[in-house]
Amino acid sequence: MITPKENLQLVFEHKQPEFMPLKEDFDLCYPHGQNFINERPEVAGINKDWFDQSWTFEPSVNAANPTPGFHLFSDITTWEDNIVFPNLDKLDWEYYVKKDTANWDRDRKMSSLRNLFGMFERLFSVMDFTDVLIALMEEPEACSAFFSAVADHKIRLFERMIDYYNPDIIIMHDDYGNHQGLFMQPSVWRALL
């Protein structure tokens, strides 16, 4: 019989698995926290992420959301004046990796890192959502530059995650739509994201 990790590998290779994969077949980690990869504070109250965006924890949904009325900017053409990317080399990678992977079973389970806030989520966390949708139509060049800079930051982040965690897979989360469709025209999504 094959291991859960080998079975999942079949799935990722678009082959027939020997048995139904389960979430328990993964050693899953969201590497983040106030003093580590702080893309969204997860503690109660009002806190700031590593971009200086204010977040308010909402107990009813058990998650933090951007603090209403507080965004880093409203004009996408000013993003470079308002966004400072964190220095990833100043993070205590070894401490968090040791803590996060202490119980991983790399022989039997697939190791998976999850990362929040892709390019679009990052934009609508630092800018009002309505302003974001308008910016996509009125300032596509500035939006593209912002997305490119965030993508470059994510590449640097993932390079370190790979070097330190050595995961089997990394999954980056982003919200592009809801149950009714994309938040933008597919042509805009294809051009900018």
Q: Sorting pLDDT into bands at 50, 70 and 90, what band is 40?
A: confident
Contact status, residue 143 vs residue 135, Cβ threshold 8 Å: yes
Average pLDDT over residues 34-54: 83
Helical pair 93-101 and 140-165, crossing angle rounded to 10 deg: 70
Q: Is residue 106 part of a domain?
A: yes
Residue 49, in any domain of the structure: no
Whether this model's pTM surpasses 0.85: yes
Q: 34 falls in which pLDDT band (50, 70, 90)?
A: low
Largest CA-CA distance found in the chain, in angstroms, rounded? 57
* Position 47, amino acid: N
What whole-number distance in Å separates Cα of residue 145 and Cα of residue 78?
Answer: 11
Q: Is residue 45 part of a domain?
A: no
pLDDT (0 to 100) of residue 124: 94
Report phi then psi at 173, rounded to 5.
-95, 140
Q: Which domain holds residue 134?
A: 4-40+74-192
Q: Which residue has the higher pLDDT, 78 or 179?
A: 78
Question: How many structural domains does the chain have?
Answer: 1
| CA separation for the pair 37, 19 (Å, rounded) | 35
Beta bridge partners of 46: 56
Find all residues with CB under 8 Å of 36, minimum gap 6, and list them.
91, 92, 96
For 55-99, the pLDDT digits (tens) are: 998 888 888 889 989 999 999 999 999 999 999 999 999 999 999
Q: 179, 173 in Cβ contact below 8 A?
A: no
